[in-house]
C-alpha cells in the first residue's frame, strides 16, 4: 500500500467551550483555516488534540466533524490512542467508517508492552482495518520504543506504511532509512528537530506549533523542498524558541495558548490539564508576541511539499 503523505500535517487542536463541551463548529473553523493557509494534511485527535481526554463517542464526533470540514482537500489522519488492542480496534474501525484517510497508531497507554506484545498490538489493529497506518514513536512520552526490530517484524503488514518519529535522537531517521530504505514513509514528529528530520529523509512534519504559525511552517518545508536552505534555516531559527515548547510537559496548553494569542483558537483545555498561569503563561505569551513581531518574509502560501 502506498500513500502520498508529505509536507506539513498539523496535529490540530480540539476546541472546547466554556462549559467544557466540545465545540465542533469552531474545531471545523480551525481546521479550515489551516488548510487555507497551505497545510497538506491534518492529524485529528493526536496529543495536541487531547485524544485521551475524550470518550469514544466524543472522539467519533470530533473526527466526523473534521472529515466533514476537510471535504477531501487533504488527508485526515486520526490518532488511535487507547489502553488496549480491543479498544484501539473499535475506534480504528469507527474512524474508517467516518471517512478518515489514515490512522496514527500509538502504543497502548499505561501498560508498557514488551516488543512482541507491541508488534501484536500493531498487527491486531492493522488486520482489522483497510486504512493506511502511521506508527507514532515517542519513547519519552509513552515509555515505549518502536525500534528497528519492531519495524522489521511489521514489514509484511502492507497497511503499516509510515512512522512519525518523535524520539529526540535524530539518528533514528538514519537508522530507519538504512535498515528499510523507502519501506516506511518517515515524518518528523518533534517540532524542534523538524528540519533535521527533513534533511535525514523525512517526507513531512507532524507539527504542533503550526497551529499558531501555519504559513511559516509551510514555507519552511517548501524552502527545504526547493533547495533554498538559507530560507529554511532562517525560518527555523526564528521559530525555534516556540518549537521548543513542543518538547515540554505542558505542550498542549502552550500550543493552545499560542493559537489563542494569534487569534486562531481558544486556550481552553480539558481537565486534568488547565490553562497556563503566572510566570509560565506570561513567558509563553511574550515568546509568541515576539515571534509575531519578527515574522520572516514569506512567498505566497502554497501546499508544503517535502522532497521524498
- Residues identified as active-site: 136, 164
* 6 burial via Cβ count (<10 Å: 0-12, 13-18, 19+): buried
**Cell numbers standing for residue 129:** 482495518
Buried b (16+ CB within 10 A) or exposed e, 174-188: ebbbeeeeeebbbbb
Structural contact between residues 193 and 170, judged by C-beta atoms closer than 8 angstroms: yes
Q: How many CB atoms lie within 10 A of CB 291?
A: 22
Pairing of strands 7-10, 42-44: unpaired
DSSP state of 266: -
Amino acid at each position: 500500500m502506498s500513500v502520498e503523505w508529505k509536507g506539513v500535517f498539523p496535529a490540530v487542536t480540539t476546541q472546547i467551550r466554556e462549559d467544557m463541551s466540545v465545540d465542533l463548529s469552531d474545531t471545523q473553523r480551525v481546521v479550515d483555516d489551516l488548510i487555507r493557509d497551505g497545510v497538506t494534511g491534518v492529524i485529528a485527535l493526536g496529543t495536541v488534540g487531547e485524544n485521551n481526554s475524550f470518550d469514544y463517542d466524543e472522539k467519533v464526533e470530533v473526527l466526523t466533524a473534521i472529515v466533514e470540514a476537510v471535504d477531501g482537500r487533504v488527508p485526515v489522519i486520526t490518532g488511535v490512542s487507547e489502553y488496549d488492542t480491543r479498544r484501539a480496534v473499535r475506534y480504528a474501525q469507527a474512524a474508517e467508517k467516518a471517512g478518515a484517510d489514515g490512522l496514527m497508531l500509538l502504543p497502548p497507554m499505561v501498560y508498557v508492552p514488551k516488543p512482541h506484545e507491541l508488534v501484536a498490538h500493531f498487527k491486531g489493529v492493522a488486520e482489522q482495518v483497510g486504512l493506511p497506518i502511521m506508527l507514532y514513536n515517542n519513547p519519552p512520552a509513552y515509555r515505549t520504543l518502536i525500534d528497528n526490530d519492531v519495524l522489521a517484524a511489521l514489514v509484511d503488514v502492507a497497511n503499516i506504511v509510515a512512522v512519525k518519529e518523535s524520539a529526540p535522537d535524530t539518528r533514528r531517521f538514519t537508522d530507519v532509512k538504512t535498515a528499510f530504505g523507502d519501506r516506511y514513509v518517515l515524518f518528523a514528529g518533534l517540532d524542534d528537530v523538524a528540519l533535521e528530520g527533513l534533511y535525514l529523509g523525512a517526507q513531512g512534519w507532524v507539527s504542533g506549533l503550526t497551529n499558531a504559525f501555519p504559513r511559516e511552517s509551510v514555507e519552511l518545508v517548501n524552502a527545504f523542498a526547493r533547495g533554498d536552505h538559507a530560507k529554511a534555516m532562517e525560518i527555523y531559527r526564528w521559530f525555534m524558541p516556540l518549537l521548543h515548547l513542543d518538547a515540554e510537559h505542558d505542550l498542549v496548553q502552550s500550543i493552545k495558548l499560542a493559537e489563542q494569542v494569534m487569534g486562531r483558537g481558544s486556550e481552553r483545555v480539558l481537565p486534568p490539564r488547565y490553562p497556563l498561569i503566572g510566570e509560565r503563561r506570561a513567558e509563553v505569551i511574550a515568546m509568541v508576541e515576539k515571534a509575531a513581531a519578527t515574522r520572516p518574509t514569506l512567498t505566497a502560501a502554497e501546499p508544503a511539499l517535502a522532497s521524498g
